[in-house]
Structure 1
Amino acid sequence: MHNLLIDIVTKNIPNDFIGFINRSLYEKIRKEFKKLQLLYSNIDLDTIKDHFFIYVTSIENTKYTLEDYETIIINAIDSINFKYKYNHESLSFKESILQIKIFNEEQHKTINFNDVDENKNNELVNSSTFNDFSSALLKNEIILKKDQRLESFEKSANKLARANGCSIINNKSIMNEYANKFDYPVSVEGSFDEKYLCIDKSILYTVLMENFKVLPMEFENGNSSNFFVYAKNKNSEDSRVLCAEINNKLEEINNLITKKSDKKLEDFVEDLKNVTYINNYGNFYDKTQRLIKISPELCKMLSVSEETVNSVNRISFLCKADKATEIVKKCPYLHGLIGRLYAKSDGEENIVYDGVYEHIKPRFISESIPNSTAARIVAISDKMEYVMSYIISSSDENFKYNYKLRKTITSVISIILKSELDFNLSDFITKILYVFLQDKGIVDYEYFEKSIKEIILDVYRDECIKSGYDFDEIDVINYANLNIFKLNRLLTNLHEINSKYNGKLMLQIQKMLEVNCNECKYTPMELDSNNLCDMFERLSKCSDEDLAFYKLIFKGVFNKLN
């Protein structure tokens, strides 16, 4: 047995694409290993700055050479064909690679793609053996594993917070950003002027996290603290200007809130005609009119109460209005929060003013979904309208990999799954497209319908991979009926039973798909949510003679794997 380390040295890759590239590499390399029937204990991927590291532990097939592994990694890279923008240049992952180094305990191999900066003193790039590489990591105080970098920062950050009698407001997106950006992230404490604690807590925290990427501290009783924590590299100099910049921004925010217009929030709706929408696709007034038509359609599909419908209609009308306020024009990340401030002051009902803010949720991984059903309906409708508007208006052929677009779809999926909303997203897309057809007279209806479904499934698949599901488990399911809630329950049950029987269920499914069910002599029972797990259990253990029976039961549920 031996271990393998692959170091892919890159340049010009946007941070937003790092996780996506890691997951693509993981899938492609696993599939290449599967072709060779290569046995191993585990594959881990980590990223530090411009280096993508792949570790393969306890490889049993010792006959394979470094040249064989070179072929595997080149094939994997060649199959990652999406493009991203860097300084207005369209690049592929392969075009961003400078060099690949492959190490085992005794040998190394270097494959040069593009010129490595010779003036750059990079001991990782210049390492010639596995031991040299390990020594360079220690010498440069680099924590190789991302989870260890996160753990190191979190431990020191919590220590600083406890010293102030506080806890950290945990934002996983910012924490991940620290782990991707810094080799050895250490926590640094900062503070702003206490007079700004008068600012609404939600607004205060949003300014700190969205504008400055720092983590606020909060006292145990829930009161805000003027302390915060952020990360820097162990050997880098402390930023002396950050606290001053935060104070200046908070002064500006506080003045804008103090000088808040006497206009009601609903009075700003007409002003949205002067606020441009995504990719110059009309304005936010147009968007509001579409949202007013789209969200009631989802109400019908979910059969909600008349009271909820009324709340949905009011939230849909008001939720974008703060885009026309001076403060949101200057600080776009306060959208929703300022709307809630106005709506509450205007005497709107609790469910409405909270919904005006909550419809933007979740904005990042650790943020909760909206609390009310009305806010969830508007949130899904708003995000799906954005997705369709972006696809229609975008000139980018690679819109499928746009970070904000994918993040928006991830939020829709999160709301659906956490709320257990049982509806067919395909039907909702049809209704959304009809609204756009009436509003904009879109020409290629079928293209846009196909595009939006493809990207939703692609993002869902990516989220399932992040959650630990196996690629084959995800890909064997037929996604013709786009009910995310039911599909996810199916996948979860499949994964649990397949894990329980060490992969036998997947083998049985593949065999089942090959048999001729016309020869089945029995009348199959109907498959439903109550007997799904039981049917999976039985399929895992059934004889080859009974596979035709189960093929009838699971008709239309699965696809053959490529």
Structure 2
Amino acid sequence: MNNKFLLEIGTEEIPARFIDNTLSQIRNKFKNVFKEERIKFEDIKVYATPRRLVLLAEGISEKQEDLQELAKGPSKRIAFDEDGNPTKALLGFARGQGVDPSEVVIKEYKGEEYVYAHKLEKGRLVKEVLEDTIPEIIKSINFPKSMRWGGKNFRFARPIRWIVSLFNDQVLSFDLEGIKCSNITKGHRFLGSSSIEINEVNEYFNKLRENYVIVDQEERRKIISNGCLKLAKEKGGNLLLDEDLLKELTYIVEYPTPFVGRVKEEYLKLPKEVVITPMKEHQRYIPISDDNGKLMPYFIAVRNGNEEYIDIVSKGNEKVLGARLEDAKFFFEEDTKNKLEDYVEDLKEIVYQEKLGTIYDKTIRIEKLAKQIGEYLEVGKETLMNLERASYLAKADLVTKMVYEFTELQGIMGREYANISGENDIVSTAIYEQYLPRFAGDTLPTTTAGAILSISDKLDNIAGSFAIGIQPTGSQDPYGLRRQCLGIINIILDKNLHLSIKQLVKDALDLYASEAGLDFSQDEVVEQILEFFRGRLKNMLIDNGIRYDVVDAILNIDNDDITDLVIRAKEVNKWIDKEGLNEVLAAFNRVVNLSEKAQDNKVDKELFEVEVEKELYEAYITVEDEVQKLLNKKEYGEALNQFIKLREPIDKYLDNVMVMVDDMNIRNNRLSLMKKIADTMLTICDLSKIVSK
């Protein structure tokens, strides 16, 4: 069990964003194969550099485990004749299983005796199994984008240039459309050897290290993180290194060496984000700030190589960054010659979407939708004025030279240019916050105006896309509508807003119909978008620990107030742990089933024939009054507790009263009572969706 298997897939440089998912696929696919092929192993590790994907499997068995199966044959009465001799049926079965008829055993199955044969499949050598399975594993790896090359019939992220396949000290060859398997790997593209012989698995990592390749990404990550932090401290500053940039740096180098470069003081007069964006997004440099958050005249970069000539490398990177920042300075100076509002008219020249008009058209829609939401929320007059101004200016920075060159600065430059143009802080902040949250875990708008503007912008995107039939399908969501929908939900919950999503969707679609002249079935599109919101909310609630059946019970009622639905979900999730829940659910399920046959919920007390009818109705009236009071206070758990009081009257009623009598007036009256109870219950949640334990 001390066997080791090493697989290295050598490629052209793979994009950093592909690597994490690819490593996960490789690990899982090999684990599954080992399990399916009955191969024992102790551990599977995966590594990656820009030019190689590596799997190391340790503690592998020499052979597959033997497989013993018990194959079921014909029944005993068919397998043997009256004298106990094998029939043709038994002989055929034994021949098919490769056993002698005398070796079969008799076992009972569902009250009848059958013949069974013990079938033994001897385990193959693990090396043979791997030779057969590895090509298919490699071909099955998926990438966001892949390519063919050199006449190959399969796709990969980048062309595969070499493969190392070693089982201990032996090359394990397999056919991958002519790509050679060997024990020869390559070192660093510029510093290492282009032909490194690996005689056994144990020497792989050290030999590559000698050739300036650190295979373990976690080790590279620590070298980068610790090295950059050390350099920043030497300059008396703090490292502005986020996880995404650290991950990218880890996967774009094979031998990391951090170094410091200088930034000219004149560029630090620009807005902070204008300096940081070219550094991080375009050059993969790390800014340094002082204790007050002010940028210092330094940056840290990571070289894919050693420290030789590091001063020359630093100077070269300073020149590259300097050119970028000189452009940014020029754009900033040109943009600020005009006020932000002067750019709004230019939005008429930019198409938002062919069927949905220009960015200017979108601005007008957002302005109207934001005002409508503000009125629903009854915000103050000043907030409405700020919201209207922010909506009008929201997209103006898209036509500035800075944002045209550095698209990541949309909203950020809008905020900066708004401040420079004399707009108040609420307006400028809202312009920036319209894009929040930009990704999972991102910050949410802090201002009311920013929150409303963000909701309006995202809802306009969703409504327009659905109206013209552009909807997320499967894993495809090119316009990021799922993310925007979650953004709306998170903003609503964070601000504790009570809004009708259905009404907002109708408002957004009405604007497309009136402003853009779109022709679509509003009822159909409204329901599609509401279902889209329900799907996102359902996933969110389940991820937060709410039982799936509770989520179904909440989302199945006529309520589209997201904040209220989340409160209900949490309350019901706690409530269902009560004793006697099954009896309560059984009673209400009987009520719901009968209520579906009712024409309405109008009850005529004069048609009551027996005392239990009156008792149930009176019990319901008492409970219904208390439930409404509790609903108004959003005490949903207590409201459900009131409904528990109806269980006994319901059971007594249904056990003693025939609902579906011949007299139609009596029958409809009794069904109406069931519907009245069910309708009130549905003002809390749909208990029929709760699964009994």
Fold shared per TM-score above 0.5: yes
Deviation sequence 1:332-381 (CA, Å, 0-9, x none)? 33322332223223332212111212333455778644332432343354
Distance 1:323 1:96, change over 3 A: closer
Q: Deviations over 1:29-76 (max 9, x none)?
A: 777788889998877655322444456778899739466678887887
Distance apart, 1:158 and its partner CA: 0.9
Deviations for 1:230-260, whole angstroms, at most 9, x for unmatched residues? 1121349736432112222323332333344
Compared CA separation, residues 380 and 265, structure 1 to 2 (3 A): same
For the pair 1:323 / 2:398, whether they are aligned, the reply is yes
Give the share of equivalent positions with the same residue, in percent: 24
CA distance in 2, matches of 1:164, 1:140: 32
Q: What are the superposed Cα offsets for residues 298-348 of structure 1, whole Å, 9 maximum, x if unpaired? A: 667878666555544432221111112233334433322332223223332
Q: Which residue of 2 aligns with 1:201?
A: 272
Name the CA distance, whole Å, in 1 between partners of 2:267 and 2:336: 20
The CA distance in 2 between the partners of 1:47 and 1:104, in whole Å, is 20
User: 3-state SS of the aligned residue for 1:291?
Assistant: helix
Aligned 8 A contact 1:80 1:93 in 2: no
- Which residue of 240, 250, 260 maps to 2:325? 250
Instruction: Report the secondary structure of 1:231's partner residue.
Output: strand
Task: Specify the SS of the correspondent of 1:400.
Answer: coil
Partner of 2:291: 220
Residue 163 and residue 362 in structure 1: after superposition, are their counterparts in 2 closer, same or farther (change >3 A)? farther
Q: Are 1:47 and 2:48 an aligned pair?
A: yes
Contact 1:433 1:449 in 2 (8 A): no
Q: What does residue 476 of structure 2 align with?
A: 400
**1:198 to 1:11, Cα distance in 2 relative to 1, 3 A:** closer
Matches within 5 A, 1:212-291: 212-235=283-306, 238=313, 240-277=315-352, 282-291=357-366
* Alignment CA distance shift 1:292-1:25 (3 Å): farther
Q: C-alpha distance in 1, partners of 2:8/2:256?
A: 21
Cα 1:185–1:415 shift into 2, 3 Å: farther
Q: With CA pairs under 8 Å and 6+ residues apart, which has the higher RCO, 1 or 2? A: 1
The structural deviation recorded for 1:520 is 10
For 2:252, the aligned partner's letter is: K
Q: 1:333 to 1:252 in 2, by over 3 A?
A: same
Alpha-carbon separation, structure 2, partners of 1:292 and 1:343 = 17
Task: After superposing the two structures, state which structure 1 stretch, 43-52 or 77-86, moved more.
Answer: 77-86
Shift of 1:444: 8.6
CA distance, structure 1, for counterparts of residue 497 and residue 28 of structure 2: 30
Q: Which residue of 1 aligns with 2:237?
A: 166
Question: Which residue number corresponds to residue 145 of structure 2?
Answer: 84
SS at match of 2:422: coil
Distance in 1 between the 2:479 and 2:21 partners?
Answer: 9
Change over 3 Å in CA distance of 1:13–1:210 after alignment to 2? closer
2-side partners of 1:112 and 1:284: how far apart? 54
Distance 1:409 1:125 in 2: 52
Alignment of 1:27-66 (within 5 A): 46-53=47-54, 63=65, 65=126
Partner of 2:682: none
Structure 1, unpaired ranges of 5+: 498-507, 532-551
Task: Tell me the amino acid that sits aligned with residue 84 of structure 1.
Answer: K
TM-score, normalised by the number of residues in structure 1? 0.67
Give 1:421-432 correspondences, 5 Å limit.
432=508
Question: How far apart are the structure 1 equivalents of 2:487 and 2:446?
Answer: 14
- Look up the SS of the partner of 1:216 in the other structure: strand
Native 8 Å contact 1:108 1:128 kept in 2: no
Of 246, 249, 255, the match for 1:184:
255
- TM-score of the superposed pair, with normalisation by structure 2: 0.56
8 Å CA contact retained: 2:9, 2:54: yes
Q: 1:354 aligns to what?
A: 429
Q: Alignment partner for residue 441 of structure 1, among 494, 518, 525?
A: 518
Q: How many residues align?
A: 520
1:342 and 2:417 correspond: yes
Name the aligned partner's letter for residue 286 of structure 1.
D
Task: Report the more deviating stretch, 247-256 or 156-165.
Answer: 247-256
Q: What is the letter of the counterpart of residue 50 of structure 2? A: K
Letter in 2 for 1:211: H
Specify whether residues 460 and 18 from structure 1 end up closer, same or farther in structure 2 by C-alpha distance, changes over 3 A only: farther
* CA displacement at 1:159 relative to structure 2: 0.7
Q: How many Å separate the matches in 1 of 2:499 and 2:38?
A: 41
Distance of 2:139 and 2:290 partners within structure 1: 51
SS at match of 2:297: strand
- 1:142 counterpart = 2:213: yes
In structure 1, what is the equivalent of residue 186 of structure 2? 122
Structure 1 residues 231 and 352: CA distance shift in structure 2, 3 A: same
Tell me: CA distance 1:87–1:76, structure 2 relative to 1, closer, same or farther (3 Å): closer
Partners in 2 of 1:128 and 1:444 — Cα distance? Answer: 69
Deviates more, 1:203-212 or 1:92-101: 92-101
> What amino acid is the match of 1:358?
E
Q: 1:261 to 1:141 in 2, by over 3 A?
A: closer
- 5+ long unaligned stretches in structure 2: 66-122, 188-194, 592-626, 628-633, 638-684
Counterpart check, 1:131 vs 2:206: no
For residues 52 and 371 of structure 1, do their structure 2 counterparts lie closer, same or farther at Cα, with a shift above 3 Å needed? farther
- In structure 2, how many angstroms separate the alpha carbons of the residues matched to 1:380 and 1:335? 17
1 CA distance for matches of 2:228 and 2:169?
40
Asked if the contact 2:224–2:256 (Cα under 8 Å) also holds between the matched residues in 1, the reply is: yes
The amino acid that maps onto 1:47 is A
Contact 1:137–1:143 (8 Å) recurs in 2: yes
Q: Secondary structure of the residue that 1:382 maps to in structure 2?
A: helix
- SS of equivalent to 2:365: helix
Could you tell me how far apart the structure 1 residues matched to 2:351 and 2:223 are?
Answer: 43
Per-residue deviation at 1:165? 0.7
Judging changes above 3 Å, is the alpha-carbon distance between structure 1 residues 422 and 344 closer, same or farther for their aligned structure 2 residues?
same
The Cα RMSD (Å) is 6.2
Distance 1:11 1:211 in 2: 21
- Cα 1:161–1:395, aligned 2, differ >3 Å: closer, same or farther? same
Deviation at 1:160, TM superposition (A): 0.7
Secondary structure at 2:145 match in 1 = strand
**Are the structure 2 counterparts of residues 116 and 96 from structure 1 closer, same or farther at C-alpha, using a change threshold of 3 Å?**
farther
Quote the Cα distance in structure 1 between the aligned partners of 2:503 and 2:137.
Answer: 36
> For the Cα contact (< 8 Å) 1:400–1:455, is it kept in 2?
no
Higher mean Cα deviation, 228-237 or 13-22?
Answer: 13-22
Q: Provide the rounded CA distance (Å) in 2 between the counterparts of 1:243 and 1:57.
A: 45
Q: In 1, distance between residues paired with 2:391 and 2:9?
A: 47
User: How far apart are residue 137 of structure 1 and its match?
Assistant: 3.8
Deviations 1:438-474 (A, max 9, x none): 536265986998699779979997x999x9x99xx99
- 1:413-435: CA deviations, max 9, x gaps? 77678767787978866765565
- Counterparts of 2:489 and 2:230, CA distance in 1: 35
Cα offset for 1:161? Answer: 0.8
- Distance between the aligned counterparts of 1:450 and 1:92, measured in 2? 40
